[in-house]
């Protein structure tokens, strides 16, 4: 299951500024745990692709099994386009290649609601390995 938006007004967007250079706070609603008792918080800015988000979700679900519930707080809304290999410059913008979520520092990416803290901790540590940005495990 790949994450991508179903309907959108414009298929291609501009990427925006160099996102790693922006120093700012996260979206106000995503900075504190709301759903679960343990969560994964981003410490650095960056981009997460739909494949990376899905890989982390799968690895966490594999660890917690039926002992808890996972809530993914992020969704890739930004399309990234790419021109095919060995195509000359010009002739318009390339097709949408993949979708990304722009992460700001302080954003809570994943939350787990469970009474078994040790299993949730191991699951989130396993998920941290699959992310390209620095993250921290936080408790409620």
Contact (CB, 8 A) for 109 and 52: no
pLDDT at 24: 56
Rounded average pLDDT over 60-69? 94
Report pLDDT for 126. Answer: 95
pLDDT score for 17: 74
- Which pLDDT value is given to residue 118? 94
Least confident of 12-16, 65-69, 102-106: 12-16
> Mutual orientation of helices 50-64 and 117-128 as an angle, nearest 10°?
150
- Report the chain's mean pLDDT, rounded to a whole number: 89
CA atoms within 13 A on the CB side of 133: 26
Least confident stretch, 15-24, 78-87, 97-106: 15-24
Q: Check residue 35 and give its pLDDT.
A: 87
What pLDDT shows up at residue 108? 94
Predicted confidence at residue 19, as pLDDT, reads: 58
Output the six-digit token pair for 24: 């700012």
- This model's pTM is above 0.75: yes
Residue appearing with tokens 């408790």 = 139
Q: What is the DSSP letter of 113?
A: E
Which one, of 14, 3, 9, lies nearest residue 98 by Cα? Answer: 3
pLDDT tens for 85-125 read: 999 999 999 999 999 999 989 999 999 999 999 999 999 99
Higher pLDDT, 36 or 64: 64
Domains in the chain, ordered, with CATH? 36-84+92-139 (3.90.1170.10)
């Amino acid at each position: 299951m790949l994450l991508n938006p179903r309907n959108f007004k414009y298929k291609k967007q501009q990427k925006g500024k160099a996102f790693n250079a922006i120093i700012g706070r996260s979206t106000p609603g995503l900075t504190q745990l709301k759903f679960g008792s343990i969560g994964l918080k981003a410490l650095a800015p960056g981009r997460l692709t739909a494949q990376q988000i899905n890989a982390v979700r799968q690895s966490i679900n594999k660890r917690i099994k039926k002992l808890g519930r996972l809530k993914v707080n992020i969704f890739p809304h930004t399309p990234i386009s790419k021109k095919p290999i060995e195509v000359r410059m010009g002739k318009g913008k390339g097709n949408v290649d993949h979708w990304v979520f722009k992460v700001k520092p302080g954003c809570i990416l994943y939350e787990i609601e469970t009474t078994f803290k040790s299993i949730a901790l191991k699951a989130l540590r396993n998920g941290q390995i699959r992310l390209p940005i620095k993250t921290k495990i936080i408790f409620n």
